[in-house]
């Protein structure tokens, strides 16, 4: 099963994807993790990607798409995957369809998460992540703090704040980029009949776990 997570940063994509991944036993694949792995291993694509990432620029498709294709060609994703952070544009979505067609696969479900912007900013500035790249657990100091301050519940590693989560203006800039580049994907997948939009918000008392539970219930039925 191939699932795509859509939604601006801070809507809870990582949380929902992680819950779905555990229950469906398919890997959660994020472009951030793919970039970091290739950069760490100093692959040809990783070296090229780092030239853009180090300058705070978006990595172009001719680098990103082959990286994602390599992962989808691997045994790791033979039973499916949950894609978080890809595709970001219509062009990438079309490339993804081509990659999956080679394996007689298709996108089965697209989950679009929406959250009020004021809540997003609060969430991101309070977001913390496990420093262990093999764990990738995500916490929120307000909504979902670790049991022990500064320590990951799952693996015991230190939890940290990402540099780009510290500055509110930087967060607003990223949200604007999302609106311009990625939100058209909502209409693209809606026309294909595979889009599911879910609101995650404190004001309606519906957070990531509730959304994930409902999606799993529908998938299994």
Residues, the chain = 221
Residue 123 has pLDDT above 90, yes or no: no
Ordered by where they begin, the domains of the chain are 2-115+181-220 (3.40.50.300)
Before 87, cis peptide (omega within 30)? yes
Tokens found for residue 98: 């081509």
Residue 37 structure tokens? 């792995």
Q: What confidence tens digit (pLDDT) does each residue in 10-49 have?
A: 898 888 998 999 999 999 998 888 888 889 899 999 999 9
Helix 31-40 / helix 61-72 crossing angle, nearest 10 deg: 90
pLDDT reported for residue 55: 80
Contact 120, 11 (CB under 8 A): yes
**Model confidence at 177, in pLDDT bands (50, 70, 90)?**
confident
CA of residue 29 relative to chain centroid, distance: 7
Strand partners, 109: 3
Q: What value does the mean pLDDT take over residues 109-118?
A: 94
Q: In what order do the strands lie in the sheet with 159-160?
A: 138-140, 127-130, 159-160
pLDDT reading at 163 higher than 90: no
pTM of the full structure: 0.81
Within 8 A by CB and 6+ apart from 169, the residues are none
Catalytic site positions: 13, 88, 127, 162, 174
pLDDT of residue 159: 95
* Segment 46-84, tens digit of pLDDT: 999 999 888 877 788 999 999 999 999 999 999 999 999
């Amino acid at each position: 099963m191939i699932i795509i997570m859509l939604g601006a940063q801070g809507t809870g994509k990582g949380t929902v994807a992680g819950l779905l991944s555990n229950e469906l036993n398919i890997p959660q694949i994020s472009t951030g993790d793919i970039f970091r792995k290739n950069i760490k291993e100093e692959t040809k694509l990783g070296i090229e990607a780092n030239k853009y990432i180090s300058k705070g620029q978006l990595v172009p498709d001719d680098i990103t798409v082959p990286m994602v294709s390599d992962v989808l060609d691997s045994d790791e994703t033979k039973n499916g995957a949950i894609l978080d952070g890809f595709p970001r544009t219509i062009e990438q979505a079309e490339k993804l369809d081509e990659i999956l067609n080679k394996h007689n696969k298709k996108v089965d479900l697209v989950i679009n998460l929406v959250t009020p912007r004021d809540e997003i900013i609060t969430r991101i500035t309070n977001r913390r992540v496990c420093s262990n790249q093999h764990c990738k657990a995500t916490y929120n100091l307000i909504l979902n703090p670790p049991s022990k301050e500064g320590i990951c519940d799952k693996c015991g590693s230190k939890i940290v704040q990402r540099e780009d989560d510290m500055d509110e203006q930087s967060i607003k800039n990223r949200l604007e980029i999302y609106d311009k580049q990625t939100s058209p994907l909502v209409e693209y997948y809606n026309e294909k009949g595979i889009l599911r939009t879910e609101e995650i918000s404190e004001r309606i008392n519906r957070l990531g776990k509730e959304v994930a539970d409902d999606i799993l219930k529908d998938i299994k039925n």
